[in-house]
Amino acid sequence: MQRRRFVLGCGCAALGGLPWAGALAQAEAPEWKMPARFARPDASSDEGSLWAFMDREEHRLKQSAFVIRDKALQDYVTGIVCKLAGEHCPDIRVYIVQTPLFNASMAPNGMMQVWSGLLLRMTSEAQLAAVLGHEIGHYLARHSIERLRDAKSKSAAGQFLGILLARAGGLGAISQLALLAGMLAYSRDQEREADRIGVELMARAGYAPLEASRVWEQLLEELKAGAKDREEYWDESVLFKTHPPAAERQKVLADLAAAKGAQGRTGADEYRAALAQHRSDFLVDELKRHNFGETRVLLERMQKAFPDDGELQYCLGEAYRLRAQDKDLTEAIAAYRRAELLKGAPAEMYRSMGLVQRKLGDEGQAESAFAKYLELKPTAPDSALIRTYLKRTD
């Protein structure tokens, strides 16, 4: 899948890009004051053009079938945003988008996007609040307009921006947006400021600020595992070219959390309940990324939180089956067997088990697995084909 920064203000959240959090400010920075609500800028101003551009993008997004229209989940995420953003709450509109990557973004007109891959990866309400708080930080500090003015001051970029914002019809909406996002990527200082505001907002809303550093740790673990699995060279200094090293970052985060008081709620149970209805769909989307390294680390982390969850064991088996290297097929069977002893694995697990057993040459086990699948789902849309598998194993 092509990864693109969806919207201005998406700092750098997509997996594979730099994570959302940039360098953090020192804990002793002066107290931050929340600005008053923003009025809509004059349409003829540069900021007005930027808002108009984003309004058009939001109009398109509203009609997209990729927006998850579940009022309960929408209300839950919006509720977190409102706890963080205070009086700015009425100006922020949340869109939950079905895209299995770690990302959230905030546009200057108040359009916030939260991708399903982020929701799957967070383990608590406080972790989600850490990411959303960072994005709200960019919004409150009006970083997009700073970047726009900075880019416009450079003549070549400025001319191009002028064309882009003036409703360029020749390029598709996605191309325009990707170009704009690329040209207006946040600076290191802006990332630092957004981090500081984000932690401040978390603390004010009563969330445990230390969860921000855990999000960072988790993301790094996934990125490293993904690179290793793809046999790509992992050089942390590349990731941190414009950001401080992980150790420094950890310290600053810890300092900030300590300064704010490490106490606060994580809201892990509420988070699980809010996501429960969508988790299976998000897991299916995650497996379809075919990114074994990142998916395995994610699933293992989730298994620590849900040790009796058969669906997670099934998904781990699927990750092994889909990669199908070396001993992956036997690992897949082992995971399916563990899932069998737990609750939550779908009937499709037996179909997968049959496919793997066939590859391993165990026709008897394959037949048993396919038969079990048909027993559990006799009218499955692939039942006629599964019956032909059974004939072949006779």
Partner 1 sequence: MKRRTLLVALLLLALSACTTITKVGPGQVTVKDMSMTLEGPWNKFDSSAVVLYQAPGATEIWTREGFNLDVLAFYVGIGDGEAIGMSLPRTQKKMPVFRARMAPHEIVEAFESVVTQDGSVFKVGKLEPARFAGGEGFRFEYELRRKGDSLLFNGVGYCTVANKKLYLLAYSAPHTYYFGKLVPGLESAVRTANIKR
Interaction of residue 381 with partner 1, rule CB under 8 A: yes
Smallest separation, CB 2 to partner 1 (Å)? 6
* b/e sequence 306-320, b meaning 16+ C-beta within 10 Å: eeebbbbbbbbbbbb
Interaction of residue 382 with partner 1, rule CB under 8 A: yes
Contact letters for partner 1, residues 93-132 (x by CB under 8 A): -----xx---------------------------------
Interaction of residue 169 with partner 1, rule CB under 8 A: yes
With CB under 8 A as the contact rule, the residue among 40, 66, 235, 262 that binds partner 1 is: 66
- Tell me whether residue 30 or residue 361 sits nearer to partner 1 (CB atom): 361
Return the structure tokens found at 167: 């409703």
Interaction of residue 155 with partner 1, rule CB under 8 A: no
Q: Helix, strand, coil: what percent of the chain each, to 5?
A: 60, 5, 30
Smallest separation, CB 204 to partner 1 (Å)? 36
Return the structure tokens found at 199: 């932690």
Interaction of residue 384 with partner 1, rule CB under 8 A: yes
Sign of CA dihedral 152, 93, 207, 266: negative
- Tell me whether residue 55 or residue 229 sits nearer to partner 1 (CB atom): 229
In the range 288-317, which residues lie near partner 1 by CB under 8 A?
288, 290
For the chain, the residue count is 394
Angle formed at CA 64 by CA 61 and CA 67, multiple of 5 degrees: 85
Interaction of residue 389 with partner 1, rule CB under 8 A: yes
Interface with partner 1 by CB under 8 A: which range of 59-67, 213-221, 241-249, 271-279? 59-67
Interface with partner 1 by CB under 8 A: which range of 126-134, 138-146, 168-176, 179-187? 168-176
Return the structure tokens found at 119: 């929701």
Interaction of residue 63 with partner 1, rule CB under 8 A: yes
Smallest separation, CB 64 to partner 1 (Å)? 5
Contacts 24+ apart (CB under 8 A), 43-50: 46/145, 46/148, 46/149, 46/152, 47/108, 47/145, 47/148, 49/165, 49/166, 50/8, 50/108, 50/109, 50/144, 50/145, 50/148, 50/165
- Tell me whether residue 271 or residue 320 sits nearer to partner 1 (CB atom): 320
Interface with partner 1 by CB under 8 A: which range of 31-39, 51-59, 159-167, 268-276? 159-167
Contact letters for partner 1, residues 344-373 (x by CB under 8 A): -------x---x--xx--------------
- Tell me whether residue 82 or residue 179 sits nearer to partner 1 (CB atom): 179
CA 356 to chain centre: 31
CB atoms within 10 A of CB 189: 13
Return the structure tokens found at 281: 């769909």
CB atoms within 10 A of CB 186: 24
Number of H helices, E strands in the chain: 18, 3
Alpha-carbon span 161 to 50, nearest angstrom: 10
The residues, ordered by sequence, that sit 6+ positions from 360 with a Cβ below 8 Å of its Cβ are 329, 330, 333
With CB under 8 A as the contact rule, the residue among 36, 65, 238, 247 that binds partner 1 is: 65
Alpha-carbon span 124 to 214, nearest angstrom: 11
Smallest separation, CB 342 to partner 1 (Å)? 24
Sign of CA dihedral 221, 224, 228, 229: positive
CA dihedral 383, 386, 387, 391 (to 10 degrees): 180
- The site that binds partner 1 (CB under 8 A) totals a number of residues, namely 31
Interface with partner 1 by CB under 8 A: which range of 130-138, 148-156, 162-170, 301-309? 162-170
Smallest separation, CB 45 to partner 1 (Å)? 21
Contact letters for partner 1, residues 313-342 (x by CB under 8 A): ---------x--------------------
Residues that bind partner 1 (CB under 8 A): 1-2, 63-66, 98-99, 159, 163, 166, 168-172, 174, 285, 288, 290, 322, 351, 355, 358-359, 381-382, 384-385, 388-389
